[in-house]
Amino acid sequence: MPDAVILRIRPGVRIETPLSRLARFFAAASGWRRYGLAFLLGVLLAGTMPPVDLSPLIFIAFPGLLWLDNGSAGAWASFRLGYVFAFGFFVAGLYWIAEALFVDIARFWWVLPFAVAGIPAVLSLLPAAALGLTALATRRMQLAGVARVCLFAVLLSAAEWVRGHALTGLPWNLSGYAWAGGFPGAIALLQTTAWVGIYGLSFLTVLAGSLPALMGTPPPMPWSMRRRLAPLIAAAVVLLVPAGAGAIRLALTQTKYTDIWLRIIQPSIAESLKWNPAAAETNFRLLAQLSSAPAQHPLTAVLWPEAAAPFFLGRDHVHRADIAAVAPPHGYVIAGALRGEPAAGPITRIYNSIEAIDGTGTIRAVYDKAHLVPFGEYMPLRDLLPFKKLTPGAIDLSPGPGRETVALPGLPPFSPIVCYEAIFPGAVVDESDRPQWIFNATNDAWYGRSSGPYQHFAMARTRAIEEGLPLIRVANNGISGVIDPEGRVVARTALDAVGYADVLLPAPRPRTPFSRVGDWPFLGLLIAGLLPALLRLPTVR
């Protein structure tokens, strides 16, 4: 015992703490235990996303991963570890994709393994590469703990940026969306996206979540509480400084409204009935009935969800007249609908569109969805792959020209976006012709009561903050709602609810820094995150 006491006070000797013992346990894990822990940590990270919203799990998932990686024998071992971690994250976070297949499971049962495991297997390559490169650089450049953590945050958030842009892009469940749900106070930190976008918030989230990993290193003597808690204090600063700025922003801005009343329609038509020809007329009558209900305020527009009208309205003057009959006086029904071209004769092109119809039955404006869902709305490499897209119809949908602002008399100009177009940062508004609000028509009925509709809503909410514009989201079934420019949800509907809501359109804010300069601040954060590693360059052997 006396010898042990002498060792504890001898300068330079490191002492064990509960966290250092835990870190050593993780590093020593091997075989299935090692990869099982990695998978579990990935699942825990998915728990930070809506609807679970346990944002503090970042302080378990990222340190746990880095502690496991302390036991990696090389960059390839780190790659494998990162792959299993990311696979757990994507399996838990994207399981809702498989839910869509059960709408017609008899036809698409064979796609189920691809949806459950195939998509996560592909997406996991980028986070795996981030951890592998971190390990490689750590060994080659002899990086210290802080430099390693910063490099990991840079590479993982850069991998998310690549995921959001490569091929058609899938920026779903980025790390920054850990603050887009219902965790108390998270909306203050989400305001950061007005300055640095969601990718910038992802970098801050990964950095803050990873810094406590440094507490797994046994502290040297002489020991001090301040030095020991430095990583935790640094993590708090990384999050609390922008959260404080966000809280000030929220305190200084209250939701302001225009004098425009809108009616949002949520029919909650089951996907199994959505394209059933026998149910088409019944579905249409439900939309018309909800639209024609008496209003306590003069309406300017009635908003229908994605593909609400089951008919080609440009060719169908009868149903167009029915829509005109429920349009507000001097107003519009703005409906999601499929649109066929040419206007007469055999249809060769179909668009997923938003069409504005006035009280005379005239289509006053059309927007065609530009960012289509691969395999759902069109088949990539159709000539090589021997099967059809997974949604009804034999013809692939055609993309529209891109972002545009729709201006209609009596209605503030708006940016229409359809379904998952809302998940793409910096791509929901034509900044050269800036609108005053965003209209997101969607159909999340495919995904039942899974996490998908909640995550989709949270991402649309983030676009409102990034752009400084109110967003009106109208879903067939999913979550419809009204979001102000600071991301406050001022009205929303529940899953499976059938009905309508008359809402005032919030007023827009001035352009945000993100809407002006896009991802350049994110690049600045990445460069700043590289500095601790770059400062080690002179010591590289």
Give 108-121 as a DSSP string: HGGGHHIIIIIHHH
Report yes or no on 515 lying in a domain: no
Say whether pLDDT at 80 is over 80. Answer: yes
Report yes or no on 541 lying in a domain: no
Is the domain of 111 the same as that of 212? yes
Distance CA 197, CA 487 (A): 13
Confidence class for position 221, pLDDT limits 50, 70, 90: low
Single out the residue of 448, 534, 491 nearest to residue 151, CA to CA: 534
Is the domain of 362 the same as that of 229? no
Report yes or no on 513 lying in a domain: no
Is the domain of 461 the same as that of 526? no
Per-residue pLDDT, averaged over 314-321, amounts to 95
Distance CA 481, CA 440 (A): 10
Report yes or no on 336 lying in a domain: yes
Going from the C-alpha of 480 to that of each of 76, 308, 373, 436, 473, the distances in angstroms are 45, 14, 21, 19, 5
Distance CA 225, CA 219 (A): 10
Is the domain of 305 the same as that of 231? no
Going from the C-alpha of 431 to that of each of 195, 356, 469, the distances in angstroms are 16, 22, 12
Confidence class for position 220, pLDDT limits 50, 70, 90: low
Is the domain of 149 the same as that of 233? yes
CB 79 within 8 A of CB 128: yes
Question: Which residue range forms the structural domain that includes residue 317?
Answer: 257-508
For residue 3, what pLDDT is reported? 41
Say whether pLDDT at 541 is over 70. Answer: no
Going from the C-alpha of 422 to that of each of 286, 331, 372, 520, the distances in angstroms are 26, 26, 12, 21
Is the domain of 196 the same as that of 263? no
Sheet holding 301-303, edge to edge: 363-368, 349-358, 332-341, 301-303, 257-266, 499-506
Is the domain of 277 the same as that of 242? no
Report yes or no on 297 lying in a domain: yes
As for how many domains the chain has, the answer is: 2
Say whether pLDDT at 1 is over 60. Answer: no
Report yes or no on 514 lying in a domain: no
The residues annotated as belonging to the active site are: 306, 369, 419
CB 218 within 8 A of CB 237: no
Report yes or no on 540 lying in a domain: no
Is the domain of 276 the same as that of 198? no
Contacts of 362 (CB under 8 A, 6+ apart): none
Say whether pLDDT at 109 is over 90. Answer: no
Is the domain of 266 the same as that of 304? yes
Is the domain of 331 the same as that of 239? no
For residue 536, what pLDDT is reported? 73
Query: pLDDT tens, 511-527?
Result: 999 999 999 999 999 99
For residue 343, what pLDDT is reported? 82
Contacts of 203 (CB under 8 A, 6+ apart): 153, 154, 157, 196, 522, 525, 526, 529
pTM of the predicted structure, to 2 decimals: 0.93
CB 188 within 8 A of CB 246: yes
CATH of the domain at 375: 3.60.110.10
Is the domain of 373 the same as that of 488? yes
Query: pLDDT tens, 467-513?
Result: 999 999 999 998 999 999 999 999 999 999 999 999 999 999 999 99
Q: For every residue of 416-464, which 3-state class applies, written as one string? A: EEEHHHHHCCCCCCCHHHCCCEEEEEECCHHHCCCCHHHHHHHHHHHHH
* Angle at 42 (CA atoms; ends 41, 45), nearest 5 degrees: 90
Report yes or no on 53 lying in a domain: yes
Per-residue pLDDT, averaged over 85-97, amounts to 97
| H/E segment holding residue 135 | helix 125-141
Is the domain of 470 the same as that of 342? yes
